[in-house]
Amino acid sequence: MIDFRYHLVSIVAVFLALAIGLVIGSTALRGYVLAGLNAASQHEKKVNNSLYQHNSQLRARIAADDAFARAAEARLLNGLLTGDRVVLVLAPGTDGSTVNGISTALSEAGATVTGQVVLSAQFFDTGSVTEQQLQSTVRNLEPLGVALPKSPPDPQIAGQQAAAQVIAPAIVNKDGFPTLTQAESQQILTEFGNSGFLQIKGAGGAASLAGQATMAVVVVPGTVPPAATSWPFNLALVSLANDLQESGKGVVLAGNLKGSGQRSAISAVNSGAAGVRMTTIDNADTAPGQVIVAQALRELLLPNATPRAYGVRPARVPSPAPSPSPSATAPLSSRSPRPHPSAKKSAR
């Protein structure tokens, strides 16, 4: 029979041997491990420094492009929208600087900004109470003779679709001649305003628009809607934008880069999920993007204009490349070419 002390001594000897082995092994390998870790650390440091420098260069390039666009804005936009009237339709949560930049660019292009129609979060509520209230408001306006929806409504946003069919002709028209009187348009907007669905911000703080516009810019929220509500929200906003497109000469759906990603109304249009075609701009928070908003509206005034997706995301067109001639004058292609200097010499 083996004594218990023998077992105890054996166990102690085993752990002692392991401890000694670990100490000796770690001492022998320490240099190699430290050298490897130092080499990896230095490599990652170089990579990080390189990425930081590249990022700084990209930021500087963006700042330079933005500064150039700001400096050249007046020349790039001069006269492009002279004689046209544009209304801004803002979704809840729009970025204020983006809206101000778009408004400035439109003014630089010679357009008259008739004001802003600010949609409330309540307008996009798809609860049964809100849906019934929207449709009730539309029915109250039937005596004005505004056309009601002809296509089958989406059951989820039937109220928003009905409201869009009434709101759109109240703020835009195709031919420059009002389809509704000023009093009728104001009555429509007042009805929806009193119900908490929208707010009017006219020029100089007025509570009414400066008449009907001929074109519209619909600005999406500054951040994408939550996943749970994004689809009905986007569908309602796109439905209104599409009615504005049908009622006027053209519409642009614009937003900042952060608010135009996945689950945004711009993404819904460009992916085909919304089922409609319209011009979109995803970088309207920058000076180049704000210039493009005005240029894109100008493009929509041309015969056989095709809606396009402008901006900086994948598969976007970087610029409309519009004719530099203002809307009030003939296109460059119809003007007489400037004679070459050598032609003058030969004519003498």
Query: Which tens digit of pLDDT belongs to each residue from 174-221?
Result: 876 677 888 899 999 999 999 999 999 998 888 899 999 999 999 999
Domain assignment present for residue 331? The answer is no
What is the domain range of residue 53?
Answer: 1-77
Domain assignment present for residue 292? The answer is yes
Cβ pair 287, 101 in contact under 8 A: yes
Same domain, 287 and 200: yes
How far apart are alpha carbons 308 and 330 in whole angstroms? 24
How far apart are alpha carbons 22 and 312 in whole angstroms? 57
Sign, CA torsion 67/68/71/74:
negative
Domain count, the chain: 2
DSSP one-letter code for 207:
S
Token reading at 288: 């180049």
Of 25, 59, 77, the one marking the end of a domain is 77
Same domain, 33 and 93: no
pLDDT in tens, 270-291: 999 999 999 999 999 999 999 9
pLDDT in tens, 43-81: 888 888 888 888 878 777 777 777 776 776 778 888 999
Same domain, 95 and 213: yes
Checking if the pLDDT of 324 tops 70, the result is no
Same domain, 195 and 60: no
The torsion angles phi and psi of 67, rounded to 5 degrees, stand at: -65, -40
What's the mean pLDDT in 223-228? Answer: 93
pLDDT in tens, 87-140: 999 999 999 999 999 999 999 999 999 999 999 999 999 999 999 999 999 988
| H or E stretch covering 191 | helix 182-194
Cβ pair 299, 320 in contact under 8 A: yes
Domain assignment present for residue 304? The answer is yes
Same domain, 229 and 309: yes
Same domain, 183 and 195: yes
How far apart are alpha carbons 109 and 92 in whole angstroms? 26
Domain assignment present for residue 95? The answer is yes
- Burial classification of residue 92, based on how many CB atoms lie within 10 Å of its CB (0-12 exposed, 13-18 middle, 19 or more buried): middle
What's the mean pLDDT in 147-166? Answer: 79
Same domain, 240 and 221: yes
Domain assignment present for residue 347? The answer is no
Angle between helical axes of 158-171 and 230-247 (0-180°, round to 10): 30
> What string of DSSP letters covers 104-172?
HHHHHTT-EEEEEEEE-GGGG--SHHHHHHHHHHHHHTGGGTPPPP-SPPPGGGHHHHHHHHHHHHHHB
pLDDT band at 7 (very low <50, low <70, confident <90, very high): low
| H or E stretch covering 39 | helix 4-77
How far apart are alpha carbons 248 and 64 in whole angstroms? 36
Same domain, 71 and 210: no
Checking if the pLDDT of 240 tops 80, the result is yes
Same domain, 95 and 238: yes
Checking if the pLDDT of 297 tops 70, the result is yes
Of 33, 57, 77, the one marking the end of a domain is 77
Same domain, 71 and 89: no
Same domain, 35 and 70: yes
Checking if the pLDDT of 327 tops 60, the result is no
Same domain, 179 and 33: no
The least confident of 60-64, 99-103, 168-172, 337-341 is 337-341
Of 33, 58, 77, the one marking the end of a domain is 77
Using CA atoms, how far residue 205 sits from 114, 196, 208, 216, 284, in Å, is 12, 19, 9, 19, 24
- Across the chain, where does the E strand assignment appear? 85-90, 112-119, 198-201, 215-219, 250-254, 279-281, 309-310
Burial profile 223-256: b = 16 or more Cβ within 10 angstroms, e = fewer: ebbeeeebbbbbbbbbbbbbbbbebbbbbbbbbb
